[in-house]
Chain A
Amino acid sequence: MKIPALFKNNDLLASAPKKEFSSEAGSSASHFFEWSDHAAIEVVFHAKKDSTLECVFLQNLDAKAELPARVQLIADRGATIRCTIIHQGASKSQISFDSRCAEEGASIQIQALANSRLNQKHAFIANAVHPVPHTHSDLKVWCVANDEAQTIFNGTVTIEKGAHHTQAFQKNKNLILSEKATIDSIPQLFIFNDDVKCAHGSSTSTLDPDQYIYLQSRGIGLADAEAMITRGFIENAIHWIENEATSARVHAVLGLNQEEAL
C-alpha cells in the first residue's frame, strides 16, 4: 500500500530542535506547547511511572509555512498520557506522532485535529507501538477539509510479540465540506500476538441533511447550521482539554468562542 506523506521526516527533522516535557513519577502534570516558527520541531512528552500527563501540541503556523514536526509520547509503568495534537495554518504541514506504551499498565490517549481550508495540506502520520503486555492506546483523528484542502491520515498500530492483553484502538473521522477537497486515510493494524483487543476504522462524510433540517427547524439558518455542525465536529477533538487556560488558547487560535456555562 502506498503511504502518502508530505515530507520525508528523516531529512528535515535531523537537525530540528527537541523540546521535552514530562510528568514526574506519581504526579499529575499539564503541558502546553505552541509552535509558530518556520522550522521543523521535535517534541517529547514523557509520563513517568504512575503519573498522569495532559499535554497539548498546537502547531500554529502562518499561511506560507511548509514544515514537518514530530511528537513522541512515552508512557512508563502505570502512567497515563492524554494528548491533543492540532494542525492550524500553514501551506503544507505534517505532524508525525509516535506513541509508545513502554511498560505494563501504560495508557496513551490521543485526539488529533486538522482544520484545513484553502489550499492547505495537512498530514498526520501516526505510529502506536505496544511492546509489552497490559497496555492501552486510543487514537482519534478528526479532519475537516474545506475548499481545495487536502488532509492525510496514515496510522499504524503495532502490537509486538508477547504483548498480551493489549487494547489498541484507532479511528479517523473526516468531514469533507467541498467537492474539491481531498482526504486520504489509511488506518492499519499489525498484530503479532493473540489475546488482544483491537479496532480501527475510518469514515468520511459530508454534512448530514438531517442535522441541517433539525437546526433549521429551530430557526437556525443554513450558514449558521453549517458553522454549528462543523464546530461540533471540531469540538469532539478539543473538548476534553481540562486545563482552562490551554483550552481558551486553543479555542482562540481556532477562531472559536468558548461556550458559556448555563
Chain B
Amino acid sequence: MTTKTDAPLFQIQDLHVSVEGKQVLKGVNLTINKGEVHAIMGRNGTGKTTLSYTLMGHPKYEVTAGKILLDGEDITSLPPEERARKRLFLAFQYPVAIPGVSVASFLRASMKSVRSAELQPSQFRAVIKEELKKLNVPEAFMTRSLNEGFSGGEKKRLETLQLRLLQPKMAILDETDSGLDIDALRVVSENLENYRSPENGGGERGMLVITHYQRMLNYVKPDVVHVFGSGKILLTGGADLALKLEDKGYDWVEGA
C-alpha cells in the first residue's frame, strides 16, 4: 500500500455498494482536494447516508466495485477504526446512545486512539475544556451517558465537538444540520466553518457536507455542490447550484 503525498486529499472512484444484496450506490466518482468543501444534496432515499457509512467502513455496506482513497492510499478494505486513525471522520446523522459510557471517558478513549502521537493524555482535559466553551456546552455534559436522552441539538453539538477534538483531515458531515434550532445551527455551523478556515489549518483539510438545505451552506460555504440521485452523482456545480436547488427543487435534474 503506497501513499502519494501529491495525490488529491480524498477520492472516490467508481464506487458500487450493495446492502443486503441490493445495489444502492452505482458508480460514485468524487475528488476532494485539500482546502475544499464539497456539498452533496439530494432527495431522501437516494443513497446519501449509504455513501457516508460506506466511506467510514460500516461492515453492513459491501463495496462490490471501486475504491476509496485518502491521501492517495487505498482505504477501501480498512476497518473503521483504522480509517479514523488515518484522520477520516464521520459526523453521524443519528449518533447512537451508549448507556453507562460517559461522554468524558468516550472522548478520552477516542482522543487516545486518534491523537496519541501528538497529544499527551494529560493535555486532553485542557483541549476538551477549550472546545466545550466554543460550542457553548457546559462541563456537566461530560458526565452524562453518551447520547442517552440527548436532544437532537445536543447530539449534533457533540458530533461537532468530536470533529474539533479529533482534528480529521477529511470530515464527512451527514445531515449535521438536522434537528438543530436556529441558534444551535449557527453555533455548530460557525464552529465547522472555523475548523475549515485557512488560519486554523483548514487549507490542509477537506469536508464533505451532506445536507437537504441551503441554510447550513450559508455558514459552511461549499466550493463544489453535487446533486445525488439513483445511487450516483447526477450533476456538479458551484455554490450557486445549492441556491438553485433550494429555489427549484430536484425535478429539473434528470433522474433525481
A and B physically associate: yes
Interfacial residues, chain A to chain B (CB-CB below 8 A): 208-211, 213-222, 224, 228-229, 231-236, 239, 259-262
- Chain B residues near A235 (CB, 8 Å)? 100-101
Residues of chain B having any CB pair with chain A under 8 Å:
53, 56-60, 79-81, 83-85, 89-90, 92, 95-96, 98-102, 104-106, 109-110, 113-114, 125, 128-129, 139, 142-143, 145-146, 162, 166
Residues of A contacting B: mostly: helix
Main secondary structure of the interface of B (DSSP, over half): helix
CB nearest to A237 among chain B residues: B100
Residues of B with C-beta under 8 A to A233: 99-100
The 8 Å CB contact of B81, one of A208, A219, A262, is A219
Chain B residues with Cβ below 8 Å from A260 are: 104
Q: Known: A232-B99, A233-B100. Is A213-B109 also a contact (CB below 8 A)? A: no
The answer on a CB contact under 8 Å between A217 and B101 is no
- How many residue pairs link A and B with beta carbons under 8 A? The number is 96
- How far does the Cβ of B138 sit from chain A's closest Cβ, in whole Å? 11
Tell me if A214 and B96 are in contact (CB < 8 A).
yes
Q: Are A220 and B109 also in contact (CB < 8 A) when A211-B96, A233-B100, A235-B101 are? A: yes
Q: How far is the CA of A173 from the CA of B56 in the complex (A)?
A: 31
- B145–A232 touching, CB < 8 Å: yes
Q: For residue A208, give the distance in angstroms from its CB to the closest CB of chain B.
A: 7
Residue of A nearest to B103 (CB): A262
Chain B min CB distance to A75 (Å): 27
Residue of A nearest to B141 (CB): A262
Enumerate 20 A-B pairs (CB-CB under 8 Å) in ascending A order: A209-B59, A209-B60, A213-B80, A214-B98, A215-B98, A217-B80, A218-B106, A218-B109, A218-B113, A220-B81, A220-B110, A222-B81, A228-B101, A229-B101, A232-B99, A234-B100, A239-B100, A260-B104, A261-B104, A261-B143
State in angstroms the CA–CA spacing of A216 and B88 once bound together: 12
Cβ–Cβ contact A216 & B80, under 8 A: yes
Known: A228-B106, A228-B109, A262-B125. A218 touches B162 (CB 8 A): yes
